[in-house]
Copies of this chain bind each other. A is one copy, B any other.
Amino acid sequence: MKYVLAADVGGTNIRTALIDPAGNIVSEQRQQLNLSACGNSAQHIVATLVSFLQPQAKQATAIGIGFPGFFHGQTGVLAASPNLPALQELPLADILKERLGCSVQVQNDALCAALGEFHFGAARKSDDLLHITLGTGVGGGLILQGKPLYGEGGMACEFGHLCVNTNVDAALCACGKRGCLEAYASATAISFLYHQRTGKTLDAFAIYQSACSQDPAAMHLFSEAGRYIGEAMATAVKLLDIRHITISGGVTGAWEILQPSMIDALEDHVISPQQGHVSVSLSTLKDQGGILGAASMAMGLI
């Protein structure tokens, strides 16, 4: 049996899996790996990745990696890496290929999550896909006419920074602008807005539990987040005429409160021939989307 090795490199963890050609995870590992602690040295970061991947690479025909950075198309060269600036313009895929002795594909983590849904998840039979990740932040990946969209600077689908509220008093986003989707629909924003409106400090999960107990402020926050997500979805639909949207991430735990206002807003805001023709699904892969997307690259599916 020929396996590929897939890796999902996060801010503080790395997760790897050997995956068979049908997309089944044969074995899996998870380990703390704080690349930011590598003293912003590209050499140190690469050495850390290599030492972790090397033992498993021996069993694999190819390697796919989801990475927190932005890449120049399919080259595996980092266009930008906000949390690991030492890596900028580093040909990461080529370096890892040389060190590990087999083919390596590296791509942005949110785009990998989209590829996972597209090849193995809720969007398997579609030709286009917007995949949205609702977690600490809000991100996404786009697949159009069967191909991933990279963007000229490797930054396609900054979905969390679409503007959903143009009022002067709109919520302030971490990016410095007002009215971004992320300032309403990320776990961070939900916790921040709840504190602002009630004076209480709770994390997004506790606020969700509070909403389930009919706390009006909590219910309103999730319903408002759903509405803004739906409006941002409609923007993507009007611009790209896509018909498939999937969502993953911790905030989707509140799906039954988010979903009604989200779908209402989406249907209200698309143009009339698109109404009723956009499917919105929860990810069927949950937190395995990224790693399966990385695997799909190693399998040569893109």
CB-contacts of A248-273 with B (<8 A): 268-269, 271-273
- Pick the residue among B142, B151, B243 that contacts A242 (CB under 8 A): B151
Q: Besides A144-B144, A153-B277, A156-B241, 9 other CB < 8 A contacts? A: A128-B152, A149-B240, A150-B241, A154-B241, A155-B274, A158-B241, A161-B238, A163-B235, A175-B271
- This chain: how many copies in the complex? 2
Measured between alpha carbons, how far is A142 from B145 in the docked complex, in Å? 13
Which B residues touch A147, using CB under 8 A?
145
A166 within 8 A of B: yes
Which B residues touch A157, using CB under 8 A?
239-241
- Pick the residue among B150, B175, B271 that contacts A158 (CB under 8 A): B271
Number of interface residues of A (CB under 8 A): 45
Known interface pairs A162-B238, A167-B166, A239-B158; A153-B274 also in contact (CB < 8 Å): yes
What's the minimum C-beta distance from A217 to chain B, rounded to whole angstroms? 22
What's the minimum C-beta distance from A174 to chain B, rounded to whole angstroms? 11
A236 within 8 A of B: yes
Measured between alpha carbons, how far is A236 from B222 in the docked complex, in Å? 26
What's the minimum C-beta distance from A119 to chain B, rounded to whole angstroms? 18
Measured between alpha carbons, how far is A231 from B162 in the docked complex, in Å? 10
Which B residues touch A236, using CB under 8 A?
239
What's the minimum C-beta distance from A235 to chain B, rounded to whole angstroms? 6
Contact B151 A240 (CB under 8 A): yes
Contact A177 B241 (CB under 8 A): no
What's the minimum C-beta distance from A246 to chain B, rounded to whole angstroms? 15
Measured between alpha carbons, how far is A268 from B178 in the docked complex, in Å? 11
